[in-house]
Chains A and B, each alone.
Chain A
């Protein structure tokens, strides 16, 4: 059974002039770790706020645990956990006081569900007398997660929990999510970091309020339609400019140490790369075929959408 079912959900702001979420549909199965991947302004937060009953949709419908987000908002609020993108705990309460407060609001005690938060809480427990406002980013994030979990939610909504957090804390956070998933909690998490997509069971790539693709990370990468090549040279900026201007090259963009590019007509790999090497005889030129990543897929889908919009004459 789906734990979250979203049907054509739409939300606009400023009298309809800003389309924040546009006709979005998807479902999340019980116990699934589902990722919403997209940049700022894609509509992730608006979507989460509707599903947690904090905003009313303009049209469309959705259920969480089989309950309607408009009619059954009271019951949904009792059941779900929500960690907003902006730190929203009481800055002048201590770690302990914040946790106690949230437990009380949900009519439970810290002891009752302690096993759920134990692994996370022990990491911040040495500082339990410290005020939340005085905590580091990583510690705030852990406390917020504890507070969102203390009433043993059935569905957990995490809005950009790792934004602005360094690589080490990000890794730790995803490890925590994995262990929560093993306890059967359905998790919806949003992130602007494409590399985190691989840690989800399924992901939705979202941009401008619309979902571009929903699938497992593996299948999203598999559905990349072209052969993808990587290139580098001593002067990589020069190579980028040359490949962008190359008639045979369909798309080319920087990707870390390398450039990634696709060609207009795929053919024999060796012939193709040889021809490119001949046209661009730069120092230390290296060319090879590679596997696409989620970020490649995202860029591709964004381009396709732009082309569609232009073709529609908008």
Chain B
């Protein structure tokens, strides 16, 4: 049995009367690709913020990489990576400067930064662009670079918040190749997406509806239990029950 890297027990977060996250319980195993789905306003972002050590829960228990979400937020931040579609890199720093900056923030030694950034630039095939501003790169490259930077300090787990929004279908697949590679290297991947074909690439997925976890299983088993052949349909059946909607 693999170790549990995230343990979440009846975790809740209320804003006044509003139960953004309502008693969610789930585990994520080490090395797993875990999909976190839900309609807009279902509570995904709130839950993810708690797990990233950015927000305190109202009640319930949770630990990430062995650290408590109430008492050890700073330790959590050190041991995770995070990437979102909205913000990832500094456009007016070069590729190498971005890597150096993030490496520095996460306390990677100068020597290591130098060594690893050369490796990274070579793996991505960006040797010629290394000293160019990130703002001049095509979106697809930025996202691949952002992902590499998010796991540069070799975190135990990386949180990806809609990482592939808007990119072309080939780049989207190359991106998932990198996710698989990271998972093979032992990094746990926690990912949200609006693309249902990407839900299929996950080992297990949860679907949140109105702050609660309404489904949690492998894509194959979910499809079976909802008597359908597509994840789209599973999601639709669950999400249309939602009573609330917000961003």
Contacts and interface: CB of A to CB of B under 8 A. Distances in A.
Given A167-B196, A169-B40, A256 B231 contact: yes
A256 B184 contact: no
A298 B197 contact: no
Given A168-B240, A194-B169, A299-B169, A256 B139 contact: no
B36 to A, nearest CB: 13
Contacts of B232: 167, 195
Interface string B36-65: 001111000000000000000000000000
Contacts of B41: 136-137
Contacts of A138: 40, 245
Contacts of B235: 167
Given A39-B168, A137-B247, A254-B201, A166 B138 contact: no
B245 A136 contact: yes
Contacts of B40: 136-138, 164-166, 169
Given A166-B194, A167-B239, A253-B173, 9 more contacts: A136-B245, A137-B245, A139-B245, A165-B40, A168-B242, A169-B39, A169-B245, A257-B200, A299-B169
27 contacts: A39-B167, A40-B139, A40-B166, A41-B139, A42-B168, A136-B40, A136-B246, A138-B245, A163-B165, A164-B162, A165-B40, A166-B194, A167-B39, A167-B194, A167-B196, A168-B239, A169-B40, A192-B165, A192-B166, A207-B168, A237-B180, A237-B184, A253-B170, A253-B173, A256-B201, A298-B168, A299-B170
B236 interface: yes
B171 interface: yes
Contacts, number: 85
B220 interface: yes
Interface in B176-218: 176, 180, 184, 194, 196-197, 200-201
B163 interface: no
Contact of B171 (A39, A256, A295): A39
A255 interface: yes
Contact of A164 (B38, B165, B219, B240): B165
B196 A254 contact: no
Interface string A218-262: 000000000000000000010000000000000001111100000
A126 B247 CA distance: 18
Interface in A169-223: 169, 171, 192, 194-195, 207
A282 interface: no
Nearest to B162: A164
Contacts of B169: 39, 194, 295, 298-299, 302
A161 B152 CA distance: 35
A78 B134 CA distance: 40
A106 to B, nearest CB: 29
Contact of B173 (A42, A254, A257): A254
A167 B138 CA distance: 27
Contacts of A41: 138-139
Interface string B3-45: 0000000000000000000000000000000000011110000
Interface residues of A, number: 32
B200 A168 contact: no
Interface string B148-171: 000000000000001001111111
A153 B148 CA distance: 47
A258 to B, nearest CB: 8
A136 B40 CA distance: 8
A69 B90 CA distance: 37
Contacts of A39: 139, 166-169, 171
Contact of A40 (B167, B200, B201, B239): B167
Contact of A256 (B200, B242, B246): B200
Nearest to B201: A254
Contacts of A168: 39, 236, 239-240, 242
Interface in B110-143: 138-139
B143 to A, nearest CB: 10
A303 B139 CA distance: 18
B111 to A, nearest CB: 33
Contact of A136 (B168, B236, B247): B247
Contacts of A256: 196-197, 200-201, 231
A88 B89 CA distance: 26
B170 A302 contact: yes
B34 to A, nearest CB: 16
A186 B167 CA distance: 28
Nearest to A42: B168
Contacts of B236: 167-168, 171
A168 B239 CA distance: 7
Nearest to B241: A168
